Structure 1
Amino acid sequence: MRDLTRIVKAYDVRGVVPDQLDADLARAFGAAFAETVAVPEKATRIVIGHDMRPSSPELSRAFAEGAASRGLDVVEIGLCSTDELYFASGHLDAPGAMFTASHNPAQYNGIKMCRAGAAPVGQETGLTQMRDLVTSWGDAGAPAADATPGSITQQDLLKDYADHLRTLVDLSGIRPLKVAVDAGNGMAGHTVPTVFDGLPIDIVPMYFELDGTFPNHEANPIEPKNLVDLQAKVRETGADIGLAFDGDADRCFVIDERGEIVPPSAITGLVASRELAKNPGGTIIHNLITSKAVPEIVREHGGTPVRTRVGHSFIKAEMARTGAVFGGEHSAHYYFRDFWNADTGMLAGLHVLAALGEQPGPLSALVAAYNRYPASGEINSTVDDQAARTEAVRAAFADREGVTMDTLDGLTVTGDTWWFNLRPSNTEPLLRLNIEAHDRATIDTLKSELLPLLRD
């Protein structure tokens, strides 16, 4: 039996096909999902979707067969984005599974699972139990069940998904906009035409052809090199805005009319201000790597900011605990109370289009109020001992006047005009460094001091 600890991650199952993940294993996970999540919740059906990777149809059908063998009816919605699967889970009030490896290369695939109402399933909320159950079954797979097998049917929910998103943001008053969209050969090429249909938007499409081999560039827009084509297209066509989506289209990155990247923290601040206008006094969640401008903006608009750890399970838990109306992460994941607390880059993108289209100015001027401080971006260092290197950094700053520290997620060190966070990777021998300051010179000074502590 293969070692499942290598593919069962914090929030999903993910591995190389077929070496680490194949149809037999997907079928076993379908049965385990039924036994550990769906049946205990008294669910009678689940919903399954998949992305455009060559292996996705076979794997998702095998998972469906495994779940159906435990007596569950299965609704297959076929090709979809991850946030469309979350919509389906909320709309049908059914547990769900999405087959995707998001931004990973073509040889990977994976399973993102949720409970009814798009509630997350992670290692502490079902994944570990599933892993142990599948491991106990061994290479023979799931044993036969007493239940009468459930049905497997198909349902297209793309238009329902698009219609629902359009009820959550008012686009009725926007002016005509030229919008360059880089789908990265991922699922945005499938969803954007339907979501944008009927709006006064001239789409400049880039890489809309569904191709899970990613022939043009990786579908991972958090890497600046994967935004270069879109930046050039915005400048070339005179577009008002550029939108870039990752492979499963749950993250959305924004380019202004000059071809410059708009930081996700600025988008978090912009969308937060719009959600607070609809929900005065509401709570906004932000992870600790988002710009300090975000809690400033939230307070300026009468809201309550809540700081949390990085990662969707932490964001969603805080959303549920506090009743927050919106949450944002530095990685361009955006969470909405009106979307079952789940993340949807498409809805965030629609908010930006609405804000831009409601006024006559360019996007760069609109977002300037939300983009207040320079930042380093994430700097990764391969280290021999994460704990020892982190302690060296802590010791170097421990006795400095006016400096505070916290360990909510890694080590965060804050001065009068700057802060940095140092977090260990859960899966690699890396430390991830993020720095923000009032000026670029301070960032450079901190980098020159910190990197020798991490790398020498």
Structure 2
Amino acid sequence: MPPTPNSATPSSYAPPAPEIFKAYDIRGIVDKTLTAEAVRAIGHALGSEARKRSQRAIAIGRDGRLSGPELAGALADGIRAAGVDVVDIGCVPTPLTYFAAYHLGTDSCVSVTGSHNPPDYNGLKMVLGGETLYGDLIQDLRRRIVDNDLAHGAGQLREARVVDAYLDRVTSDVKLARPMKIVIDCGNGVAGAVAPQLFRRLGCELVELFCDVDGTFPNHHPDPSKPENLQDVIRALRDTDAELGLAFDGDGDRLGVVTKAGQIIYPDRQLMLFAADVLSRVPGGEIIYDVKCTRNLAGWIREHGGKPTMWNTGHALVKAKLRETGAPLAGEMSGHVFFKERWFGFDDGLYAGARLLEILSRAADPSAVLDALPDAVSTPELNIKMAEGEPFELVRRLKESARFDDASDVVTIDGVRVEYADGFGLARPSNTTPVVVLRFEADSQQAIERIQADFRRAIEGVWPGVQLPF
């Protein structure tokens, strides 16, 4: 963790670029919008906020990006300048940083990660006192820097290692009914530092793809939500006798799943399997899912004795809802899955993979179990690219004045999700980039086209001349 040669704390910092303060995290281009100086200032603001919350120490982990050591060092220096101790846990997947907050008793942690962004990006995912920072809490860090509203002190730095404790915790609880042979693709992300050990200890034989950590991501982008990034897994399943494929994103908090025949099981269908399993032990439990998920989920959850709750997209928002409700399980279409039952409630792609194998190891043909989950015709995420601020205005106008005459329901908790008898359409403003995210699902292609025509009429009615991606 490089920086430290006691660079004296500046009396004030240059304000960091406002655009790096996102809805759910801090993220920017290294040495351009996200500099070591900016991260040091953010660390000082974060340490100041930690002291206000009576937090005495913060665990810091980082993913495998080349900029990680320098930025983690700058972050640690800033936190310590506020009089808060730092525990450096090294290069680990983001879920292990969350785990460290529990295991080491700090209750606070920061993962220095660019997640699935290109190699020249990096960022910070932050938890204070068990609360994931998002929205105004992230903006408040910048306000502290601008106003020089900073505490001062001399925090200590120590190192700790948590990988063995994490592996022991997972493998003491998750048990496979039989050995399995699986493909794992870590996309050269930091999951490769832990995933092979975990799945071998669970009793799996592995076909390993790109498990060496390389922050340049030389083979493919570490984002399993995109089908093009799962082609290596599909080929390996075809060419070997492995029975299932798992893929992880750049920082290991999201999971991709592929059947033996090369079918991608998207996260909302994975959530069905997890929900049925969890509800068998937590009857009547509440299951939370985001607005992008399949309409088949609500009925499936009710069928298995649970209470379905649709909620906003965004890992921090879902985690907050999980804490508020005490629900045993939540999931997002993006691949974040949050187990509170038998686990801590944070998103962890490795742990989700372990729980998936625990369920599927009871079946002679895991792919048949996955293929039997309810499915529908759907589009991938489609984006309307707009200028900064315009996506929120477009969706505001849709909420105010658009009419969907054939709709059975219009849900406006996060954008506009219009339910029809045979499908749904969604338009929501992204909280991270200036786009409107669209998604359509229906019982048939014909129904999707009808729903899309309804959305085309509504969107063009409130924003004439808009370029639609369908």
Structure 2 unmatched ranges of 5 or more: 1-13, 461-465
Q: CA deviation at 1:394?
A: 8.2
- Code of the residue aligned with 1:100 in structure 2: it is T
**Would the aligned equivalents of 2:399 and 2:412 in 1 still touch at CA under 8 Å?**
no
Per the alignment, in what secondary structure is the counterpart of residue 432 of structure 1?
strand
Whole-angstrom distance in 2 between the partners of 1:144 and 1:408: 37
Corresponding position: 1:43 with 2:55: yes
**Alignment-derived partner of residue 233 in structure 1:** 236
**Alignment-derived partner of residue 68 in structure 1:** 80
Write the mapping of 1:382-393 to structure 2, written as runs, cut at 5 A.
Answer: 382-383=385-386, 385-386=390-391, 387-388=393-394, 391=397
Whole-angstrom distance in 1 between the partners of 2:370 and 2:54: 46
Corresponding position: 1:154 with 2:159: yes
Mean Cα displacement is larger for which, 293-302 or 73-82? 293-302
Per the alignment, in what secondary structure is the counterpart of residue 132 of structure 1?
helix
Whole-angstrom distance in 1 between the partners of 2:91 and 2:432: 29
- Code of the residue aligned with 2:95 in structure 1: it is D
Q: Give me the CA root mean square deviation.
A: 2.2
Corresponding position: 1:165 with 2:170: yes
**Alignment-derived partner of residue 30 in structure 1:** 43
Per the alignment, in what secondary structure is the counterpart of residue 455 of structure 1?
coil
Equivalent of residue 436 in structure 1, options 421, 441, 444 = 441
**Alignment-derived partner of residue 116 in structure 2:** 103
**Would the aligned equivalents of 1:4 and 1:135 in 2 still touch at CA under 8 Å?**
no
**Alignment-derived partner of residue 185 in structure 1:** 188
- Code of the residue aligned with 1:32 in structure 2: it is A
- Code of the residue aligned with 1:96 in structure 2: it is C
**Alignment-derived partner of residue 467 in structure 2:** 455
Corresponding position: 1:211 with 2:214: yes
Q: CA deviation at 1:388?
A: 4.4
- Code of the residue aligned with 2:145 in structure 1: it is V
Which digits, 9 at most, give the CA deviation of each residue in 1:343-395, with x for residues without a partner? 111121112111211111232x1023323222112111224754447746986
Structure 1 unmatched ranges of 5 or more: none
Whole-angstrom distance in 2 between the partners of 1:389 and 1:258: 39
**Alignment-derived partner of residue 318 in structure 1:** 321
- Code of the residue aligned with 2:352 in structure 1: it is A
Q: CA deviation at 1:134?
A: 1.8
Q: CA deviation at 1:449?
A: 5.2
Per the alignment, in what secondary structure is the counterpart of residue 440 of structure 2?
strand
- Code of the residue aligned with 1:136 in structure 2: it is D
Write the mapping of 1:81-96 to structure 2, written as runs, cut at 5 A.
Answer: 81-94=93-106, 95-96=108-109
**Alignment-derived partner of residue 364 in structure 2:** 360
Corresponding position: 1:381 with 2:373: no
- Code of the residue aligned with 2:71 in structure 1: it is L
**Would the aligned equivalents of 1:182 and 1:230 in 2 still touch at CA under 8 Å?**
yes
Whole-angstrom distance in 2 between the partners of 1:257 and 1:273: 22
Write the mapping of 1:338-353 to structure 2, written as runs, cut at 5 A.
Answer: 338-353=342-357
Whole-angstrom distance in 2 between the partners of 1:449 and 1:153: 58
Per the alignment, in what secondary structure is the counterpart of residue 42 of structure 1?
coil
**Alignment-derived partner of residue 300 in structure 2:** 297
Whole-angstrom distance in 2 between the partners of 1:253 and 1:394: 37
Mean Cα displacement is larger for which, 384-393 or 334-343? 384-393
Equivalent of residue 411 in structure 2, options 383, 403, 406 = 406
Identical amino acids, percent of aligned pairs: 34
**Alignment-derived partner of residue 199 in structure 1:** 202
Q: CA deviation at 1:229?
A: 1.5
Per the alignment, in what secondary structure is the counterpart of residue 111 of structure 1?
strand
Which digits, 9 at most, give the CA deviation of each residue in 1:41-94, with x for residues without a partner? 222211000011111011101211221222222111001111111101122232
- How many residue pairs get aligned? The number is 443
Whole-angstrom distance in 1 between the partners of 2:268 and 2:213: 29
**Would the aligned equivalents of 2:425 and 2:455 in 1 still touch at CA under 8 Å?**
no
